[in-house]
Homo-oligomer: A and B are copies of this chain.
């Protein structure tokens, strides 16, 4: 609900140092997404912000959310970006996901196959499967980067 003063200050400072304009819309969108712990989608952020800024457009919400991600102030869930992807590997395994190109590679690790989940999680639901997702730069994208 309430947003710590410091978070807002960090947001404003981050924009200033990047030469990005601090608009009314951006302020409201950041306050909305930063105050929610339920991993909202863009439409949900849009609906809520609209109560305070009735003329805001969905496009502005998307643009702002991507900008916030670029600035490292928020992240996206999942292998990010575009389409549904399928996996026929039924053996226990884990994934490395490239944050640039989205390439997703399997890897195997016995230690990761037998993680024991904290008590805390029982209050949420029943775990059926545990997977580790590593995010980073794949070698191909790292090579691109150095130019």
Contact = CB atoms under 8 A, between A and B. Distances in A.
Interface of A: 33-43, 45, 65, 68-69, 72-80, 82-90, 95-96, 98-99, 103-109, 111-112, 115, 117-118, 120-121, 123-139, 141-142
Q: Which of the listed residues A43, A75, A87 has the most CB atoms from chain B within 10 Å of its own CB? A: A87
A119 to B, nearest CB: 10
Contacts of A133: 130-133
Interface of A is mostly: mixed
A39 B106 CA distance: 9
A77 B79 contact: yes
Contact of A128 (B103, B137, B139): B137
A39 B104 contact: yes
